Copies of this chain bind each other. A is one copy, B any other.
Amino acid sequence: MEKIRVGLFGFGRTGKIVANEYLQDSIFSLEWVVRKTHRDKHKFASDLLGYEYEAGKIFSIAEIDDSFFKNNPVDIIVDFASSKAVNYYEKAAFLGIKIISAISNYKKQDLDKLLSLKSRTAVLYSPNITLGINFLLIASQVLQEIAPHADIEIVEEHFREKQGASGTAKKLASILNLNEKTNVNSIRVGGIVGKHEIIFGLQNQTIRLAHDSISRAAFGQGAIFASKWLIKKHKGLYSMEQVITEMFKKHLPVY
C-alpha cells in the first residue's frame, strides 16, 4: 500500500511532537516540514528528533514559491503553525492537496481564507483535534438532549500560566448553550497539562465526562486520525466533530 504523504506547517513545541507522531506511524511518509525561520533549514526533522534516517526535510516559509507544492508533492498538509500560514499553502488547495488545520487562534481574514478553500479540496478544521475532546463534544451534546433538565457545568484545569478559559472549554460552553462566565470553572495550578470535565447534575445522579491530557502527542494522534479519514473525502469543509459524529452513527449498537 502506498503511504500517505504529509507536509507539516509548524515546528515549534507542538509541531515537533506532531512530526514525531507522523514519523512513528508507518502509514505515513513525512515529506517536509515548513517553519517560520531559517533555523535548521534543509536538515531533516527525523534527524533532529533522534531517528537514524532522513525524513521531513525542513524548509523556511520564505522558500515557498509557486512551484513548491509541485516540486514537493504531498497528499495532505497539516497546519500546526499560526494564523497566517494558510496564506502560504492556499495554492496547494488548487492542486487538490487536502488540508488539516489545528490552529486555535485564527484572525478572521485568515480563517475566511481557510474556509474558502473547501471549494477546491477537502479541508478539515479543528482547533482541538484530540480524539478525546471531540468525543466529549459529541457525547455531551447528546446527553444534554437526553437529559434536558440536567444542570451542566464545566471544570477545566491547566498549568498556572495559562491565561483565560481554555478554547476547548469555551467551545464546550458554546455548544451546550452555557454561560461562559458562570458555568466554566478554570483551575490554574502548577504544571497540569490539561483536564476538562463536564458535569451533568440531575436530582438523583451525576454524570461526569472527563478528559485528561498526558502530553501534546495527543494532538499528533488526532491529526493522524483525521488524516486517515480525510484522505478518502471529496472537497468540502469538515471538522473533527464531524468525524466523531460519523463514527458514532456507524458504531451505535443495533437492536
Contacts and interface: CB of A to CB of B under 8 A. Distances in A.
Given A204-B191, A205-B211, A211-B207, A157 B199 contact: yes
Contact of A209 (B205, B209, B214, B239): B209
B207 A214 contact: no
A135 B131 contact: no
A220 to B, nearest CB: 8
A150 to B, nearest CB: 7
A181 interface: no
Interface stretch (A41-49, A71-79, A91-99, A240-248): A240-248
A187 B155 contact: yes
B189 A217 contact: no
A87 interface: no
Given A157-B199, A189-B199, A192-B214, A205 B247 contact: no
A238 B209 CA distance: 27
Interface string A214-225: 111110010000
Contacts of A202: 131-132, 190-191, 218, 221
Interface stretch (A2-10, A62-70, A100-108, A138-146): A138-146
A1 interface: no
B203 A214 contact: yes
27 contacts: A145-B251, A146-B251, A151-B189, A151-B190, A152-B189, A188-B201, A189-B199, A189-B206, A190-B201, A190-B205, A191-B202, A191-B203, A192-B201, A204-B214, A204-B215, A204-B217, A205-B212, A205-B214, A205-B218, A207-B209, A208-B208, A238-B255, A241-B255, A242-B255, A245-B252, A248-B248, A249-B249
Given A141-B251, A153-B188, 16 more contacts: A131-B147, A131-B202, A132-B205, A139-B143, A150-B190, A187-B199, A188-B201, A189-B199, A189-B201, A192-B201, A204-B221, A209-B210, A245-B252, A245-B253, A245-B255, A249-B252
